[in-house]
Amino acid sequence: MEIGSPAFWVALLQIIAADIVLSGDNAVVIALATRSLPREQQRVAIFWGTFAAVAMRVTLTIVAVTLLKLPLLKLIGALMLLWIAVQLLLPEEESAGEGLATGSLGAAIRTILLADLVMSVDNIIAIAAAAKGSILLLVIGLAVSIPLVIFTSTFLLKVMERYPIIITVGAALLGWVAGEMAVSDPLIADWVNANAHWLHTVAPVAGAVLVVGLGKFLASRAEAGEERRPLAEVGETKLVAAAAKETAMHKLLLPIDGSAASLRAVDRLIELRDWYREPLEIHLLNVQHTLHKDVGQFVAAEDVEGFFHDESEKELAEARARLDRAGVPYQHHAVVGNLAAETIAHFARERGIGQILMCTHGRSAVADLLLGSVAKGVLQHSDVPVILVR
């Protein structure tokens, strides 16, 4: 594969996209493993833990690239990659946190290294497949994507949660790579080239379609079971200022993710509060995305809980400040869930909410269709009226 050729750039983008989609929780482990350390030691642990993890991942991926040149291993790798891609579309199992606390610098570095070793198997298979045997391409792709993942992990996770289409496209990409990988296995490559060259076009498309179709089907079944489970809140629900009595109260829910759009909904509520005839019981809700089930193997439960608490406090802070300045009483909650829209609708049912107030992001109808919309998802799943403001 020539450097700078169209095939080179396509493969490079595949490596970067696969690493970003699959590495988000690895970066969160780094934050969790170091959160109890003093700030100076945090920087040292992050540097050395990340350096060791990157070196290990590059080495293992180069080994994987070499092994994939052997007959039959690409076929096995393609099947594994299809399974990884389907898993990407399924709701995460909740990470309760069962690992040991990381109270020292050495323990934090060991945790980062061990977690990356266990949680990067999918990355290694996907990136080795996308590299198509080119070590140079592999090194360039990892050099670009790993710093991006490490330093923007929280932002990337939030973007992928807000726009689920990114995960779907990423899973389809892995299915495509799996199809390419299968037909290029040394065991069958010569026969395919001589008798069924069309498989080079059909197999990647079939892999992408299979992943998305099967993943969405299994996800819908899993989500139906999730909706019947009670939501677990992060920390304690807090009442700010004295609310009116429970009787004759109109319960209003405002989902808050820290975005400018959710803050516009808060401003709109402040403007409209006198419009309601009944006294309002206002609930602010922040949804934190479930961490990968493997995260809990490496960090203590209190660190997972603390991580969720800190993130929710940051995202709720400005909304709470605006309501406090306006003298509006409210309760605020943080819950953990796989999909924001379904979790919001579930919370509303559990708490007897009478109305949900949300603000759209102001995108066009075409953009909402392509990217998806939490507000649109809430409309689809909610049993109560939803007011949308721009």
Task: Report pLDDT digits (tens) over 131-150.
Answer: 888 888 888 877 777 776 66
How does strand 330-337 pair with strand 386-389?
unpaired
Report DSSP letters for 92-132, one per residue: PPP---BS----SHHHHHHHHHHHHHHHTHHHHHHHHHHHT
> pLDDT at position 244, please?
39
Cα separation, 203 vs 327, in Å, equals 61
Residue 353 pLDDT: 92
Q: pTM of the prediction?
A: 0.68
Nearest to 84 by CA among 213, 219, 211, 169: 211
Q: How far apart are CA 187 and CA 74, in angstroms?
A: 9
Q: What's the chain's length in residues?
A: 390
From residue 353, how far is each of 174, 278, 382 by CA, in Å?
A: 40, 14, 10
pLDDT computed for residue 99 by the predictor: 54
Instruction: Give yes or no for residue 311 having a pLDDT over 80.
Output: yes
158 or 327, greater pLDDT:
327
**DSSP string over 68-93:** TTSTTHHHHHHHHHHHHHHHHTSPPP
Between 94 and 280, name the one with better pLDDT. 280
More confident residue, 372 or 303: 303
Two structure tokens written together for 157: 């996770």
CA 167 vs CA 72, 216, 240, 264, 265: distances in Å: 29, 11, 37, 27, 27
| Average pLDDT value over all residues in the chain | 79
The mean pLDDT value for 240-253 works out to 61
Q: How confident is the model at residue 203 (pLDDT cuts 50, 70, 90)?
A: very high
**Do 353 and 361 meet the contact criterion of CB atoms below 8 Å apart?**
no
Q: What angle do CA 295, 298, 299 make, to 5 degrees?
A: 85
More confident residue, 388 or 33: 388
Range of weakest confidence among 81-90, 212-221, 373-382: 373-382
Residue 246: per-residue pLDDT: 45
**284-302, pLDDT tens digit by residue?**
999 988 876 667 677 777 7
Position 253 scores a pLDDT of 94
Domains of the chain listed by start with CATH number = 6-226 (no CATH), 238-389 (3.40.50.620)
pLDDT of residue 245 exceeding 50: no
Q: What is the pLDDT of residue 100?
A: 53
pLDDT in tens, 209-229: 999 999 888 888 776 665 555
Q: For 26-35, 191-200, 299-308, 309-318, which range has the lowest pLDDT when averaged over its residues? A: 26-35
**According to the model, what pLDDT value does residue 170 have?**
87
pLDDT attached to residue 333: 94
**354, pLDDT greater than 60:** yes
